[in-house]
Amino acid sequence: MKKNQKLRLNWQHLSFTEYASGIEVYQAALFFKDKKNIQKKILDHALDEYRHSRYFYNLAKKRGAIEGISSPSGLINIGGLSKSPFPTKKSKEISFCSYLYVGELRAIEFGDRVKENYSNKEILKIFQIIDQDEKNHAKGLMNYLSTKNDTRVKLSIMWHKMKFIFSDRNSFGLISKLKTKTEQFLIKKIFNFFPETIFETKNNNNNFEEAYLNRKRLS
Ligand SMILES: [Fe+2]
Ligand SMILES: [Fe+2]
């Protein structure tokens, strides 16, 4: 296919999306305290998402395209936490793993579209790395899901695919129209689960670097 630059991406927004996905995966890891091997894999998955976030943040920074968006607002409204099943409960394990799995499939498809539309070497290299990571994540999640009830898994995957299609149709821009009250409520809820100190998620735009440096602490 001809590379025609039809797709115009907002790197900072993408960086919020990856960061939000890191938070979701991190919460999933909290449910596996008694299974250290699995928990370690999930934490590595979360760190991959932070790394992806950092790639995009750096792209935005390099292009001088950083907008003044606070981290919580960016994560919720742009990153997708407002539509996410997270924070969640261990009893919803099949559902949240299916949600994460569908998210990985979407990320892989999205990467393919980007590769068709961009010819910039740096961008292509980043998406090549991300593609491998997301394929690993999808494989890991599917391995785990395959130990669960097959019909429930299939239904759950289908349900999350449908929900994504529905929300895609409803949000043309990436920003959903959340009322301030709802937003405040979500911020509180999220930080109940994730104390700010873990991700150094403050109201500034410099937290990506710090999340990356936290790698050692988490793995
Ligand atoms: Fe990712
Ligand atoms: Fe992923």
pLDDT of the residue at 177 = 44
> In the predicted model, is pLDDT for residue 190 greater than 70?
no
C-alpha count within 13 angstroms, C-beta hemisphere, residue 186? 19
Burial 146-167 (b: 16+ CB within 10 A, else e): eeeeeeebeebbeebbeebeee
Question: Average pLDDT over the chain, rounded to whole?
Answer: 82
Report pLDDT digits (tens) over 139-157.
999 999 999 999 999 999 9
For the chain, how far is it from start to end, CA to CA, in angstroms?
40
**CA–CA gap between residue 214 and residue 52 (Å, rounded):** 14
90 pLDDT above the threshold of 50: yes
Ligand that comes closest to the CA of residue 101: 2
As a whole number, mean pLDDT of residues 195-216 equals 46
Whole-angstrom distance, CA of residue 99 vs CA of residue 160? 6
Task: Report cis status (omega within 30 of 0) of the bond before 87.
Answer: yes
- Which residues are close to ligand 2, an ion, with C-beta < 5 A? 104, 134, 137
Per-domain residue ranges of the chain: 11-213
Q: Ligand 1 mean position to 213 CA, how many Å? A: 17
Q: What is the pLDDT of residue 216?
A: 47
DSSP assignments along 83-105, one per residue: GS--S--GGGHHHHHHHHHHHHH
Which tens digits make up the pLDDT trace of 6-25? Answer: 778 999 999 999 999 999 99
Mean pLDDT value across residues 123-147:
97
CA of 41 to the centre of ligand 2 (A): 12
Residue 211 has pLDDT above 70, yes or no: no
Ligand 2 centroid distance, CA of 181 (Å) = 30
User: 8-44: buried (b, 16+ CB within 10 Å) or exposed (e) per residue?
Assistant: ebbbbbbbbbbbbbbbbbbbbbebbeeeeeebebbbb
Ligand nearest to C-alpha 18: 1
Residue 218 has pLDDT above 80, yes or no: no
| Distances, alpha carbon 168 to alpha carbons 165, 172, 183, 207, in Å | 5, 7, 20, 28
pLDDT of the residue at 70: 87
Distance 103 CA to ligand 1 centre (A): 9
CATH number belonging to domain 11-213: 1.20.1260
The pLDDT score that the predictor gives to residue 37 is 95
